């Protein structure tokens, strides 16, 4: 009888461990991963919810594609127009805003194009294009790349020529290229603050309201992909909009500077 009790207790412990080790996949932007915030949030998510979140780190376009194909359970990205189109196509259940930061322009410390003198982001790009100063674009269909292209369009410029280099890589790799070339680049603030290989680059333009950068959480639609773990995605969302998440997101700082601002609204 005692032997059976021991076996039953062991089995209960094993099943309890299995129940705690719930796993889900989420595609996220390289800018989120580069910021270092994921390293802060993921252990706390697992501790509070029992969910192990596996991140697939790609650009926003690819992150949404992974969701559309049912390869992940949820998506965390920052390109509202693309997100709304994705939802309209039936790929997700809803969109929940979580936090924001902003985009900035980085460039050579002597700012040869005079981008810092501009009043607006479009003016900074016009100055760079007029000087044909080297400019690095991510060129990867990411949220950052989408924003950059929309700003060039608003500035009335189609960037092309030897001065404009699209690298087709994530934020960190693109910043490394800009550092090596001593070129201008548009970055999200968090990636720039976290970036170590700054070389002779500095922040040259910031503050235009158009550079606002919202991050949103989108669960994949289980009606389209029955295998996705919608229950875990919903459980994760509840944590991401909680007071605990707010404290961690708002409290995440680098060199005394805040990287993200929590702005999730209660439903």
pTM of the model: 0.85
Predicted pLDDT of residue 255: 84
Q: Is the separation of the CB atoms in 37 and 31 below 8 Å? A: no
Round to whole Å and give the CA distance between 115 and 206.
10
Q: Report whether pLDDT(17) > 90.
A: no
Per residue in 46-62, pLDDT tens? Answer: 999 999 999 999 989 99
- Average pLDDT over every residue of 132-144: 94
pLDDT band for position 20 (cuts 50, 70, 90): low
Round to whole Å and give the CA distance between 218 and 237.
9
Round to whole Å and give the CA distance between 148 and 137.
8
Instruction: State the pairing for strand pair 212-219/257-258.
Output: unpaired
Predicted pLDDT of residue 15: 43
Per residue in 157-197, pLDDT tens? Answer: 999 999 999 999 989 999 999 999 999 999 999 999 989 89
Per residue in 206-261, pLDDT tens? Answer: 999 999 999 999 999 999 999 999 999 999 999 999 999 999 999 999 888 899 99
Q: Report whether pLDDT(33) > 90.
A: no
Round to whole Å and give the CA distance between 155 and 139.
18
Predicted pLDDT of residue 21: 66
Domains of the chain (ranges plus CATH)?
23-100+212-262 (3.40.190.10), 103-211 (3.40.190.10)
Token code pair at residue 255: 């060199």
Residue 24: φ, ψ to 5°: -145, 160
Summary mean pLDDT of the chain = 92
Q: Which residue from 176, 248, 225 is spatially nearest to 73, judged by alpha carbons?
A: 225
Predicted pLDDT of residue 254: 87
Q: Report whether pLDDT(4) > 60.
A: no
Predicted pLDDT of residue 19: 47
């Amino acid at each position: 009888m005692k032997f059976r009790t021991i076996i039953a207790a062991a089995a209960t412990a094993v099943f309890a461990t299995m129940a705690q080790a719930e796993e889900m996949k989420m595609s996220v932007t390289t800018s989120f991963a580069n910021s270092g915030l994921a390293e802060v949030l993921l252990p706390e998510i697992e501790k509070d919810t029992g969910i192990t979140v596996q991140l697939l780190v790609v650009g926003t376009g690819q992150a949404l594609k992974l969701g559309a194909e049912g390869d992940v359970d949820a998506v965390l990205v920052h390109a509202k127009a693309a997100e709304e189109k994705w939802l309209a196509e039936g790929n997700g259940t809803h969109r929940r805003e979580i936090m924001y930061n902003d985009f900035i322009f980085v460039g050579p410390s002597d700012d040869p194009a005079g981008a810092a003198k501009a009043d607006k982001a479009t003016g900074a790009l016009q100055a760079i294009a007029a000087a044909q100063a080297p400019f690095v674009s991510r060129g990867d269909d990411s949220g950052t790349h989408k924003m950059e292209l929309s700003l060039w369009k608003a500035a009335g410029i189609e960037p092309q020529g030897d001065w404009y280099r699209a690298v087709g890589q994530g934020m960190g790799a693109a910043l490394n290229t800009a550092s090596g070339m001593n070129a201008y680049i548009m970055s999200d603030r968090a990636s720039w603050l976290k970036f170590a290989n700054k070389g002779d680059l500095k922040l040259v333009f910031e503050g235009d309201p158009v550079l606002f950068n919202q991050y949103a959480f989108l669960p994949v639609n289980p009606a389209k992909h029955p295998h996705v773990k919608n229950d875990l995605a919903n459980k994760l969302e509840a944590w991401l909009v909680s007071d605990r998440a707010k404290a961690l997101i708002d409290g995440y700082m680098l060199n005394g500077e805040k990287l993200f601002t929590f702005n999730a609204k209660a439903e």
